[in-house]
Structure 1
């Protein structure tokens, strides 16, 4: 048998239990505030910020998104990929909603929140501009 006491080794972690629980609550509260703010804004479409992109194949990218997912607007990480598959060129999008993010992802994605808001403004403006062109086509 090994010569160690698991209770003794675990004691420092047990001492951190309430701090860890509070840290999770702070993190979830911050993301809930962000999501609530995004829900209040007049965002008509999926908005996306690519935080990682393959320079050789820009179709391959990882994005922080605010999108409609399974009936409600949610924060998600979307992983886009493209390449040759058995049936020719294939594009895929794997979506991971916030509640399935790891703690590391929740912390890492916080640094991309300002860029997501900036992208949301641009993408919403693009939507508005596209609908203006519809107005012009009706007048013709």
Structure 2
């Protein structure tokens, strides 16, 4: 019975990686996979149902290595900032548990503290990518 659960878990991870590959200009298997695998599978399922996506973005600086682009439903992190992955994983887990996604752009520092008035690069999906997120 366990094997079926493991296969389903892998499929959820693969589905998120496919979505990232389709939407994120900064996606690569090496940059995206470790962080996607760190997110609890239940949170990934919620994200897939809601049209949310995870995107590595090396343009994010060390002062704000984790960002949620609320209007687009994109969770971004800088894979080169060690804490970026940890912070975005915790934020995804927290937000999917509450199932609340503000329409604002939210940014966090390397300790996971929410930043106010933080300027971050605008997120632009890959040319031709459809962002599936629906603001509710």
Q: Calculate the TM-score normalised by the size of structure 2.
A: 0.32
Asked which structure has the greater CA Rg, the reply is: 1
Higher strand share goes to which structure? Answer: 1
Q: Calculate the TM-score normalised by the size of structure 1.
A: 0.31
Higher helix share goes to which structure? Answer: 1
Bigger relative CO (Cα 8 Å, ≥ 6 apart) = 2
